[in-house]
Amino acid sequence: MSALPPPLLIALAVTAPLLAAALLVWPAARSIVRRLAPLTALPALILALTGGEAVLPLPWLLLGGELRLDANGRLFLLFTAWLWLIAAWFAAGYLASDRRGHYFLLFFLLAQAGNFGLILAGDLISFNLFFTLMGLAAYGLVIHRRRPSDLAAGRVYLTLVIIGEVLIFLGLLGVIFTTDGLINLPAAMAGGPPPGSFTFFFLLGFGVKAGMLPVHFWLPLAHPAAPVPASAVLSGAMIKAGLLGWLRFLAPPPPAAAEQATVGGPALPEWGLLCLLLGVAAAFYGAVMGMTRQEPKSVLAWSSISQMGLITAALGLGLSVPELFPRAIETIKLYALHHGLAKGALFLAVALAAYKTNGKLLTLGLLLPALALVGAPLTSGYFAKEQLLALGGAGTVVDPALWEWLLKLSGLATTLLLLRFLALMRQQWRQHNQTDAADTAAAPRTMLLPWGLLVLSGLPLGWYLYLPTASTLLPALGPLLTPGKLTGALLPLLAALALARPLERRWPTRLDTNPRESAPLTLLATTWQAGATFSARAVGKLDQLLQRLWHAITTIWQNPAQRWEKQLTAWPVAGCCSVLLILMLFYLIW
């Protein structure tokens, strides 16, 4: 146990990054904050490792509130805090020569505070506040380098973030209205999700952050644009906030409460089937589209869409059969931890390939998380896929044999995608490690050490979650080490290795590849490009029309608007309006 009480650790988990961000305003403190930034994640990490369930009341807030740590939040906080600590440590070396590094660190710390806060939020208002803080602060990470492509990616990201925030806010209003004004999160969600369209708002709003189809397209744009440490936490930690939102707000009511619940219930199987279909589609669509990319971070972004599709499918199985939802939660938690650590390690490795590094060390560090993602035996991905396989086989929504084959085909697609990533990484490493590449610097230790720790932590943390005690080690491993299980896990990997060389010559490496080179993939890519071109032209025409309409409206109303604005800025008018708003606010609260 920690020497610090859990409520104090809860407070420090949120306030430490906020205080560090505030110190960046003082130029003299910036160098100190850069060196100590990784320590801001320590309270959250210690809390996740040592704390049980704990509550920190916040009665001084306008409507009251609380921060709390529960079983689900503890697991999310564990890998999230570890990723933020590693990424901050890595950023110290990665951005050592960046003159705008303090701007990156400012948004980094704000997003970190928002991420920790939404995990610990115990009321609806705090959850929405921290979720919004994380989403908006991440915009500063995406556009950090200010290139035209970065700004374009930032606009797409910010647009979808705002759409998602509006949908989540509408869902929260539905919860408040259907629970007679409850804002305590556990109490408000005790009866299940709100009915009808409010459930849809939560599903799609959190789906934006989770990269769910069809609101996934910010991911392939934002990840290549953001600096590597930001990409690691975007894919490893921040998109998992969407998963946690689903678990918080879409969980069916317990059997005892379901009989008396006035919300949730019959609509959940329909939403579950939708999640299942979208998740399976994303698993294959993300893998196929990732094979057409030439930039390693873009390949990993599409891989995240594919992997998050499997997690979305697990959510769908749990929603379709409410009795399976507790098992779905455990599967999602294990998958989230496994994917977060593996994908974070792969993203950080992209930066190391641009330095002079030991090729064998880099290869080993790439293979360990890559094998975990494809589900190689005894990796964290192997345990996660076994739980996902058992979850599908226990329900009546999908045929168990069909579900098993879908997972095998998904493993094959994931392996092909990661082989594509490894080939691109090999090209990048060779380019920067040639004998005549005298201008290539050696990788600093402040990048190698945190990356190595993240790579090595993936396996034990996965075992820690799947095999919690030593006494259950052999009984739990026995069924997973049968010849049938091992063959089933190795089959997609071996098939992908056999197909990789023939497909490498035929799959398109960009969207304008000659159609004769690869018919199926190029047809899909060409269709995507044509749709994107048509959409861009349509949006351009609409933008011109709206600009003309806005110009006409502002021309007509410019003079009246100026007069009204001048009157409103006068103290008597502004004072009366302020008093009126305060009275209305007191009336609503009272």
- Is 331 within the bounds of a domain? yes
410 and 526 fall within a common domain: no
Q: Tokens 């709390």 map to which residue? A: 68
527 and 444 fall within a common domain: no
Domain count, the chain: 2
Phi and psi torsions of 262, nearest 5°: -105, 0
- Is 321 within the bounds of a domain? yes
From 421, 449, 468, the end of a domain falls on: 468
- Is 148 within the bounds of a domain? no
Cβ proximity of 367 and 455 under 8 Å: no
- Is 46 within the bounds of a domain? no
What's the CA gap between 337 and 236, in Å, rounded?
9
181 by Cβ neighbours in 10 Å (0-12 / 13-18 / 19+) ranks as: exposed
530 and 385 fall within a common domain: no
284 and 392 fall within a common domain: yes
For residue 384, give its domain range: 269-468
362 and 458 fall within a common domain: yes
Residue with the bigger pLDDT between 513 and 535: it is 535
Alpha-carbon separation of residue 23 from 28, 162, 402, 585 (angstroms):
9, 28, 56, 34
Strand partners, 56: 67
- Is 406 within the bounds of a domain? yes
Statement: the pTM of the whole predicted model exceeds 0.85: no
278 and 361 fall within a common domain: yes
- Is 487 within the bounds of a domain? no
From 441, 468, 495, the end of a domain falls on: 468
pLDDT score recorded for residue 455: 92
pLDDT score recorded for residue 348: 94
Cβ proximity of 332 and 315 under 8 Å: yes
Mean pLDDT of 51-62: 80
371 and 430 fall within a common domain: yes
462 and 508 fall within a common domain: no
541 and 447 fall within a common domain: no
359 and 417 fall within a common domain: yes
Smallest CA-to-CA distance from 218 within 227, 229, 228, 231 is with: 231
pLDDT tens digits, residue range 62-119?
677 889 998 889 999 999 999 999 999 999 888 888 888 889 999 999 999 999 999 9
- Is 190 within the bounds of a domain? no
- Is 515 within the bounds of a domain? yes
**Strand, helix or coil for residue 121:** strand
pLDDT tens digits, residue range 126-162?
899 999 999 999 999 999 988 998 898 899 899 899 9
pLDDT tens digits, residue range 169-215?
988 888 888 776 677 777 777 677 777 778 888 999 999 999 898 88
508 and 461 fall within a common domain: no
515 and 461 fall within a common domain: no
Task: Label residue 125 by pLDDT band (50, 70, 90).
Answer: confident
